[in-house]
């Protein structure tokens, strides 16, 4: 089929799409990692017996004071 006879030509020209593919790949990888981190945080919170909201500090929240002796 003529279409396949031009595959080499297409592949060479696909270099145009590389920036979009790289960016999409980076976005997808970061999304998956974020998802995994969220899942791990939820699992750790469940093990500790509290909700993630109760155990994890809010972003930018001040450090908790040291426990009194």
Residues that bind other proteins (CB under 8 A): 1-3, 6, 9-10, 13-21, 23-24, 27-28, 31-32, 35
Closer CB to other proteins, residue 7 or residue 67?
7
Closer CB to other proteins, residue 30 or residue 51?
30
CB 46, min distance to other proteins, A: 17
Write the secondary structure of the chain as one string of H (helix), E (strand) and C (coil): CHHHHCHHHHHHHHHHHHHHHHHHHHHHHHHHHHHHHHHHHHHHHHHHCCCHHHHCCCCCCCCCCCCCC
């Amino acid at each position: 089929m003529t279409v396949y006879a031009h595959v080499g030509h297409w592949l060479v020209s696909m270099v145009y799409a590389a920036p979009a593919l790289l960016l999409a790949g980076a976005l997808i990888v970061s999304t998956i990692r974020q998802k995994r981190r969220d899942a791990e945080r939820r699992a750790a919170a469940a093990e500790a017996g509290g909700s993630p909201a109760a155990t994890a500090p809010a972003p930018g929240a001040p450090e908790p004071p040291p426990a009194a002796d």
